[in-house]
Amino acid sequence: MAELTLKFSGEVIYWRGPAPFHFVSVPEPQAAKIKTEASRLTYGWGVIPATVKIGKTEFTTSLFPKNGGYLVPIKNVVRVPENIEVGDTIAITLKLGN
């Protein structure tokens, strides 16, 4: 399976949903690319495993489907050391597949 790498920037939002509560929405152009590959990437329920790089920190997580797009969860173990707050615009590199 080929790897799909996407780079984008987005605003950190607080959403009172499943933990970790901080997310960045994947912009529509990148979300469209993910949607075309979603059936081969998902492990069920539309959730897509991803390796994410923010600043100097790389971590694994899963993209959450929301309103036809995807949210990247930003865990506190990443957010705090990278000094990321709600409202910040951050650069993200997503790697999907392997």
pLDDT per position as a tens digit, 36-83? 988 888 777 778 999 999 999 999 999 988 898 999 999 888 999 999
Per-residue model confidence (pLDDT) at position 71 = 94
Per-residue model confidence (pLDDT) at position 87 = 97
Each as own residue / partner, the long-range contacts of residues 5-9 (CB below 8 Å, 24 or more positions apart, any chain) are 5/93, 5/94, 5/95, 5/96, 6/30, 6/33, 6/34, 6/93, 6/94, 6/96, 7/91, 7/92, 7/93, 7/94, 8/91, 8/92, 8/94, 9/89, 9/90, 9/91, 9/92
The model's pTM is 0.88
What CATH number corresponds to the domain at position 39? 2.40.30.100
Containing structural domain, residue 18: 4-96
**Domain count across the chain:** 1
Q: Mean pLDDT for the chain? A: 89
Q: Report which of residues 66 and 16 the model is more confident about.
A: 66
Label residue 27 by pLDDT band (50, 70, 90). very high
